[in-house]
Structure 1
Amino acid sequence: MSKHEILIVDDEPANLQKLKRTFLTDYTVHEAKTGDEALLILKERPVVAIVTDQRMPGMSGVNLLRQAREVRPDSIRIILTGFTEVEYLMDAINQGQVHRYITKPWEPVALKEALRQEIERWQLRKENERLSEELRLANEQLEKENFRLRQEIESLEPAGKQLVYESQEMRELMRLIDRVVPTNSTVLIQGETGTGKELLARYVHDQSPRADQPFIPVNCGAIPSELIESAFFGHKKGSFTGAIENRKGHFELAHQGTLYLDEIGEAPLDLQVKLLRVLQDAEIMPVGAQVAKKVDVRIIASTNRVLSREVEAGRFRQDLFFRLNVFAVFVPPLRTRRDDIVALSRYFLDRCRRRLNKPIPSFDPQTLALLRGFDWPGNVRELENEVERMVILSEPDQPIPASMVSERVRLASSTGGSDAGGLKEKVAEFERSLILEALRRHGHNRSHAADALGISRQTIIAKLKQYQLDDETAEG
C-alpha cells in the first residue's frame, strides 16, 4: 500500500529536518520553507495533510492554511505555534481553516500521534463519502430499473399499450415515425384528444436506442405554477419550506431516456421560457443549487392544439415552437380512418373480455357496422369506453348485438345522410364486405371464415346466398 503524502512547512532548516525525521518512516514527506513554495507543491501533489509553523516571514501559517483550503479543501491542516498565539488560532479553528494546533516545544511522539488520529478521521470521512456516493448511484440505478420494470409490467398487462391499425393513413404515419425512431431528434406529435399520441410517443421510445432507459411522461398543464421549477428541474434540501431532502426533477429522472411533454400547448409561459433554456443548453439548475447539471434527454412533445396558431395568438413562444418542431407528425382522427374502427373494436373486445373474465366471442356484423359509421369525436378513447360498456351489458357466449350499442351511436349512424343510403343498406354492405374479407383471409374455407366471424357454417352459407356472392371456390 502506498504511503500518504504530507507537506511540512518551516522557514528554519533545523526544525524542517526534525519534522522530516518525525514523519519519514510512515509517510511520503514533501518540504517547503515558505508559504508560496508550499502552495506550488499542493497544486502538484495529492497531499493529505499539512503541518506548518505559524511564525514565518512573508506568509504566516494561518494564511497558508487558509489558501491551502482552496487548493486542497479536504486536506488535514495542523499548525505549530507558541502559547501566546493560541487565542488568535482559536478563531482560525472555528472558521474551519485549522484542524488542530500543537504548542511548542512539541514532542515527536505526540505530534506523530496527533497526525495519525487526524488521518484516521480523514480516512473514515473519505470512506463515508465513498459509501454515500455508491449508495446514491445504486439508488439512481434502482430508480431507473423501477421505471423500466413498471413499463414492462404495463406492456404485459391485459390493458397494456399496443398500436392497432389497418388504415392506409396510419400505415403512412408509421412509415414516417420509423424514420425518426433511431435518431435523437425531437418529435412533435399533434392530433385531437384521444387519438393515441402518448401511445405513439411510447412506441418511438421503445423502438429507439434509449429503450432500456426511463420514459417519463409529464402533463405540462397539470402542474401548479409554484411547483413547476422543482417538478421539472428538482431541488436541493432546504432550498424552500418543505424541501426536506434532495429531489430529482423530471429532466434528471429521464436522463439518457425520453421525456414526454404531454399537452405542451397547455404549458404556461414561464415554463416555456425554462424549457427553451434546457433545450438550448442541455443543462438544468435545480432549485437551491449553485452549479448547473448536464442532462441527456430526448424530447417528445404532444398537443391537441395547432401550435402555429397559438404562436400567432401570443400564447406560445415562437422560439420554443421552432425548437420542438424538428420532426412534426399529425395523428389523424378516427373518423378519417374508419378502417381502424373494426380492428380497434376487436382489440378492445379481446382486452375487455380477458379483464372482465367474460367469454364473449365477437360482435354481430350489424354492431360493427354501427361502430364503423359513427364519427367518434372522442376518438380511440371513446371507442374503447363504448366497447367496454357493451361487454359489461352483453350476455356471455353470445356475439354482441346491435341493441347493445349506445343510443347516440345508433341514432348518429341511422341519420348519417341520404347519399350513403339508410341503416339497413349500410349494414348489408358492411356485412357483405366482412364475409368476403374473412373468406379471403381463410383461403375461401367457409368453416374457418365462419369461426373467425363468430357465426355458424350454416349462417355463412345462407349469407352467401342472400348476397348472391359468387364463391364457387369456397371449400368445406
Structure 2
Amino acid sequence: MSAVLDLPRVLIVDDEVRSQDAIRRTLDEDFTVLTASNADEARSQLERFEVSVILCDQRMPGLTGVVFLKEVRERWPDTVRIVISGYTDSEDIIAGINDAGIYQYILKPWVPDHLLGAVRTAAEAQTLQRDMNRLDVELRTSTPVLRQRAANKLERARRVFDFDRIERASGSPLDGVCEMAARVARYDLSVLVLGESGSGKELLARALHYASPRAGAPFVVENCAAIPDTLLESELFGHKRGSFTGAYEDHPGLFQRAHNGTVFLDEIGETSPAFQVRLLRVLQEGEVRPVGGARAVPVDVRVIAATHRDLEQRVHEGLFREDLYYRIAGVSLTVPPLRERPGDIGPIAQRLVGEVGAELGRPRVALSDEAMACLMSYPWPGNVRELRNEIARAIALSDAEVIEAQAFSTRVLHGQAGRSAALNGQGTPLPASGTLGERLDAMEAMVLRETLLRHRWNKTRAAKELGLSRVGLRGKMQRFGLEG
C-alpha cells in the first residue's frame, strides 16, 4: 500500500467517463490517478492532494481546458499542465501554451505509449525541479547521509544540464555561445539570453546555473508573458494573507524560494513599464516586498532573463526601461534559430529520436536517410520544440522501426514547396552575388529538393514531373548532394 502512495499523482479532468477510464488504464501502473469531471471537482482534488501532473480535456462544459489550466498555473504553479484536444488548429490552445504555461498538448486520438511517455517526462521534470528546490536545505544539514544525498542530486543535475549536453554539430554557431556562457557562469553577473521561441534559451540558462557557484541552490522559472502584472508580482515577490481576494495564506514568491540560487525570467520583454519599475527596485535593493506586506525581505539571487524581442529597439520605442535593460544585460547571449545552424539539425534529430523513442517504448527506432534529408530541408520556424513534436508524431504514428519521410506531417513534407523561391533547399537565401552559373545551380538544387519533397522522395514521380530520366535525376541529386 505504501508503494502505491509513493507514486506521483496525476489528475485527469474530463467530463466523459469513458475518456477518464481509458487514460486511467494507461497510467495507473506508474501513477496514482485522480479524476474530476469538471473544474470544481478538480479544484477540490488540487486543494486536498499534491499533484505532479494534470491532464485536462480542452472541450468541457462551463469553460475550456486552457482557461482552467491558466487558473491552475496561478494557484498551483508547481503542477505540470497538459491539455488534450481533438482540434489541432484551435487558437485557444495555441495561445494557452504561453498564457496557461502548458507543458504539452496531446492530440486525439492519443496513442497510449505516447501519452504515458509524455506524462512520465512531465513528472520527472517536476520531481527534478522539486529536488533542486530542496537541495540548499539539505546541504546545510549536519547529517552526513543527507549531505551526501544532496551532493549526489547536484552532481546528477550538473551532468544533465552540462553545456556539452546541448546537442550540436562540430563547428556549430552554438559552440561560441556555450563557450562564452561557460566563462560567464563562474561570475555573479546578470545574463540576458536572446533568441526565438523554442530555440533553447531555457536550456542554456539551466546550464549557466549548474555551472555556477549557485548550483546547489534552486533554479526557478517564470514566464513573464503568461500572467498579468498583479499576479506576476505575487508570483515573483510573494503576498501576505488577505492582501487580495483568494489570498488565504502567506505565499513566498519565487525570489524568496530561489534565495542563493537563480531566477530565470522568460519573455521579460513582454512586461509592462509599471512592473519594470518594481523589478528594477528589487534588483537594485536586493530585497522584495510581498504584495500587501509592510516589511521588505532580503533576497540573494542571480537573474537570467530571456526574450525573443529586440530589447534595444523596445528601449528606443519607450516600451522597455533603459535602466532595467542595463541592469539585466550584464552579458548578452544570442541563441541562433535552427534555420541558421542547419548542421545542428542532424545531431539534434538523432538525439531526439533516441529520447522520444525511449519515452514511447520504442528504443530501437531510427530515421532513414531520406527522412533525415527531409528534416534537414525544412526551415523549422518553431525551432527545436517543433522538431521534437514532429519526431514524436512520426514515431507514434509509424509501426516501422525505421521511420521514413512519409511519416512526417504534410507541413514538413511540403514545407519547402510553399516557401519563397528566394530560398534554397537548405533554408538559406539564394546567393546575392556570384556568376550566373552559380546562381542557376543554386536555383536548380532548390527545385530538385522541393520536387522530391513534394513527391515524398519518390524518384520516379519526381523525374517524370521534371522531364528527366531516373538516371538523369540521380545524377543531378549526386551533383547537388541530395542523396540522403
Pairing partner for 1:208 from 208, 212, 237:
212
- Deviation readout 1:89-132 (Å, 9 max, x if unpaired): xxxxxxxxxxxxxxxxxxxxxxxxxxxxxxxxxxxxxxxxxxxx
1:163 maps onto 2:166 in alignment: yes
Q: Is 1:409 matched with 2:405?
A: no
Task: Letter of the 2:324 partner, please give it.
Answer: L
Distance in 1 (CA, whole Å) between partners of 2:186 and 2:200 is 21
State the AA in 1 paired with 2:167: V
- Secondary structure of the residue aligned to 1:412 is coil
Q: Report the AA paired with residue 343 of structure 1.
A: P
Determine whether 1:363 maps to 2:367: yes
Distance 1:243 1:409 in 2: 47
Which residue in 2 is equivalent to 1:47? none
Among 226, 231, 235, the alignment partner of 1:231 is 235
Structure 1 residues 381 and 139, CA gap change in structure 2 (3 angstroms)? closer
* Counterparts in 2 of 1:369 and 1:329: CA distance versus 1, 3 Å: same
**1:278-293 maps to which residues of 2 (within 5 A)?**
278-293=282-297
Q: Equivalents in 2 of 1:336, 1:139: separation in Å?
A: 38
Mapped to 2, the partners of 1:151 and 1:190 lie a distance apart of: 27
Residue 175 of structure 1 is matched in structure 2 by: 179
Give the residue type in structure 2 aligned to 1:345: A
Distance 1:306 1:353, change over 3 A: same
Q: 1:358 to 1:155 in 2, by over 3 A?
A: farther
Report the Cα distance in structure 2 between the residues aligned to 1:323 and 1:348, rounded to whole angstroms: 36
Query: What is the distance in 1 between the residues matched to 2:293 and 2:403?
Result: 60
Q: Is the 8 A contact 1:147 1:215 kept in 2?
A: no
CA distance in structure 2 between the partners assigned to 1:240 and 1:426 by the alignment: 59
Tell me the number of residue pairs that the alignment of Structure 1 and Structure 2 aligns: 291
Aligned to 1:128: none
Cα deviation, 1:273-302, whole Å, max 9, x if unaligned, reads: 111001111111223333322211000000
Partners in 1 of 2:228 and 2:390 — Cα distance?
33
> CA offset at residue 204 of structure 1?
0.3
Contact 2:136/2:217 (8 A) holds in 1: no
Q: For residue 309 of structure 1, report the CA deviation from its aligned partner.
A: 1.0
Query: Residues of 1 paired with 2:257 and 2:150: CA distance?
Result: 9
User: What is residue 296 of structure 1 aligned with on the other side?
Assistant: 300
List runs of 5+ in structure 1 lacking aligned partners. Answer: 1-137, 428-462, 469-476
Give the Å deviation of 1:244. 3.1
For 1:269 and 1:147, the matched residues in 2 are separated by 40
- SS of the residue corresponding to residue 328 of structure 1 reads strand
Residues 420 and 391 of structure 1: CA distance in aligned 2, closer, same or farther (over 3 Å): farther
| Structure 2 runs not aligned, ≥5 long | 1-133, 141-145, 425-439, 451-473, 480-484
- What's the Cα RMSD here? 3.5
Question: In 2, are the aligned partners of 1:183 and 1:208 still within 8 Å (CA)?
Answer: yes
The share of aligned pairs that are identical, in percent, is 39
Partner of 1:243 in structure 2?
A: 247
Return 296-305 or 145-154, whichever deviates more: 145-154
Deviation larger for 217-226 or 292-301: 217-226
Return the letter of the residue paired with 1:195: S
Aligned position for 1:333: 337
After superposition, the Cα gap between the structure-2 partners of 1:393 and 1:365, relative to the gap in structure 1 and judged at 3 Å, is same
Name which of structure 1's ranges 414-423 and 258-267 shifts more when overlaid on structure 2: 414-423
Q: Could you say which residue in structure 2 is the equivalent of 1:400?
A: 403
Contact 2:261 2:302 in 1 (8 A): yes
What aligned pairs does 1:373-392 form with structure 2 within 5 A after superposition?
373-392=377-396
- Which one of 306, 310, 320 corresponds to residue 310 of structure 2? 306
